[in-house]
Amino acid sequence: MTKGHGRIETRAIWTSTDLVGYTTFPCAAQVFCIERPVTTLQGTPKHHEIVYGITSLSPVRADAARVLTLNRRHWGIENRLHWVRDVTFDEDRSQVRTGAGPQVMASLRNLAITLLRLAGCTNIAAGLRRCARHVTRPLRLLGFAI
């Protein structure tokens, strides 16, 4: 159970290997079902989600608790990288659309995010503004002694 953002979310997971022989999904070792009822802080139901998934991790490598943890960590990646690229860099409105340009720009954005995170920056937008104000900071992040 987690409490935050004005809600309480409870998670339950069920895993099984029973369907593995019936699916043609490559490398399937387990299937799982995660149930997430969400209520307000006062206990009023908000919504109820049930999601299904397939994993290549065997029950020996990942029991139900581990599968649930890995599923939760996926959103950490979404929030720490994709959200920053979508919102801070406004990637969806990029005018670069042909050839290798989009891949190169995505790589440069990832590089900037990684360098700022390695430098201890928790707010990428603030880190970018700081680098924009002081021209030597980005060079230092890239390893150039100035």
DSSP 79: I
Question: What pLDDT score does 143 carry?
Answer: 87
> What is the tens place of the pLDDT at every residue in 122-140?
899 999 999 999 989 988 8
- List all residues 6 or more positions away from 90 whose beta carbon is below 8 Å from its beta carbon: none
Q: What is the DSSP string of 64-83?
A: HHHHHHHHHHHHHHIIIIIH
Q: What are residue 37's DSSP bridge partners? A: 48
pLDDT of 5 over the 80 cut: no
> What is the tens place of the pLDDT at every residue in 56-87?
999 999 999 999 999 887 766 666 777 888 88
pTM over cut 0.85: no
Question: What pLDDT score does 99 carry?
Answer: 93
Q: 37: pLDDT confidence band, cut at 50, 70 and 90? A: very high
- List all residues 6 or more positions away from 131 whose beta carbon is below 8 Å from its beta carbon: 116, 137, 138, 141
